[in-house]
């Protein structure tokens, strides 16, 4: 007469009996997780729908921040690629996360009633970090740290900071372009961000400061580094290299405009040529970024040969 079968399985390492988790219990836990996530997502969307709607409008209407459409897609892809790691992460819910959520909502109130869009938008990232900390603890927040930081790229810089960046960029671009024009024999007189040529006067406006190409190239450099480079140091170098590349490309664009004004036709330097040259220099900037990456890849080979 055999022994009756029991639903317990033996843990050989510890010598204890562990009951298996019934399939219906797994289904119940998954259902609770799905409904809980849907409820939190609906609550977050209801609170932030005005903020998010204005953010999308800014992406659409302000060319300097049009790259914002790509950032949430990239962040979602980062989370999707780490889905197995997130599922295997040991969850350690923390009450500290509740305080972080409260902080995010407080920053939202300050942003809305203080008419400060940046605070209202940044509060969403604080809220998301607080939710991850509340339900998963520090291990989950650590795994989601990079996607959350990437979302910062989608938030437009505050106007007070934006203006402090664009003005020095205009002056720097004017200086570099004037120096290049002098090298090719073009008489030039620079007064601030205004370049006076014999044919006409060129004014380096805010749109020509290079901030648009700088921010777009910096964002693409982060994407490029993530997909094509495993080393964290090289990723940081690529992101940092995009800044001088964008500045130099913008100066060359202004230089080309000045040459066109002096030796071709001043009217041709505006309109289609001006816009087309911007796209051409952005493609050249991407090529320069690729060259920087390929150069960095040669460094370990040279060291190993030495």
pLDDT digits (tens, 9 = 90+) for 272-284: 566 677 778 888 8
The yes-or-no verdict on residue 37 having pLDDT over 60 is: yes
In the listed set 119, 154, 189, which residue is the last one of a domain according to the structure? 154
pLDDT in tens, 140-174: 899 999 999 999 999 988 878 887 888 888 888 88
127 and 169 co-located in one domain? no
pLDDT above 80: residue 267: no
In a domain, 133, yes or no: yes
Nearest CA among 71, 88, 87 for reference residue 146: 71
Question: Is 98 found in the same domain as 32?
Answer: yes
pLDDT of residue 300: 66
Q: Are residues 189 and 237 in the same domain?
A: yes
In a domain, 9, yes or no: no
- Of 154, 189, 215, the residue at which a domain comes to its end is 154
The two structure tokens encoding residue 25: 């219990």
Question: Which long-range contacts link 71-76 to residues 24+ away (Cβ below 8 Å)?
Answer: 71/150, 71/151, 71/153, 71/154, 71/219, 72/151, 72/154, 74/150, 74/223, 75/147, 75/148, 75/150, 75/151, 76/147
Domain that holds residue 166: 159-300
Q: Does residue 4 form part of some domain?
A: no
Sign of CA dihedral 129, 132, 137, 139: negative
- Choose the final residue of a domain: 123, 154, 185: 154
pTM of the model: 0.76
Q: How many domains does the chain have?
A: 2
- Residue 80 belongs to some domain of the structure: yes
Q: For the segment 112-148, what is each residue's pLDDT rounded down to a tens digit?
A: 888 788 999 999 999 999 999 988 889 889 999 999 9
Phi and psi, residue 6, nearest 5°: -115, 155
Shared domain check, 170 and 102: no
């Amino acid at each position: 007469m055999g022994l009756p079968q029991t639903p317990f399985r033996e843990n050989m390492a510890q010598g204890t009996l562990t009951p298996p988790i019934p399939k219906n219990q797994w289904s119940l836990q998954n259902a609770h997780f799905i409904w809980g996530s849907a409820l939190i997502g609906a609550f977050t969307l209801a609170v932030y729908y005005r903020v998010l709607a204005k953010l999308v409008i800014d992406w659409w209407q302000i060319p300097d921040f049009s790259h914002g459409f790509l950032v949430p897609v990239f962040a979602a892809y980062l989370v999707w690629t780490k889905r197995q790691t997130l599922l295997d992460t040991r969850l350690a819910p923390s009450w500290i996360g509740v305080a972080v959520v409260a902080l995010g909502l407080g920053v939202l109130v300050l942003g809305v009633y203080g008419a400060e869009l940046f605070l209202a938008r940044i509060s969403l990232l604080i809220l998301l970090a607080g939710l991850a900390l509340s339900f998963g603890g520090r291990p989950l927040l650590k795994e989601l740290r990079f996607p959350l930081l990437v979302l910062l790229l989608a938030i437009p810089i505050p106007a007070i900071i934006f203006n402090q960046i664009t003005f020095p960029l205009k002056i720097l671009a004017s200086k570099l372009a004037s120096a290049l024009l002098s090298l090719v024999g073009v008489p030039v007189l620079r007064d601030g961000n205004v370049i006076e040529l014999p044919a006409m006067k060129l004014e380096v406006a805010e749109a020509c400061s290079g901030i648009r190409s700088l921010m777009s190239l910096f964002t693409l450099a982060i994407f490029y580094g993530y997909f094509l480079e495993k080393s964290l140091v090289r990723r940081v170098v690529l992101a940092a290299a995009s800044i001088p590349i964008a500045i130099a490309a913008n100066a060359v664009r202004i230089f080309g405009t000045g040459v066109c004004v002096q030796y071709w036709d001043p009217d041709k330097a505006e309109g289609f040529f001006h816009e087309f040259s911007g796209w051409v220099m952005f493609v050249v900037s991407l090529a320069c970024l690729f060259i920087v990456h390929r150069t960095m890849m040669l460094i370990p080979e040279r060291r190993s040969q030495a």
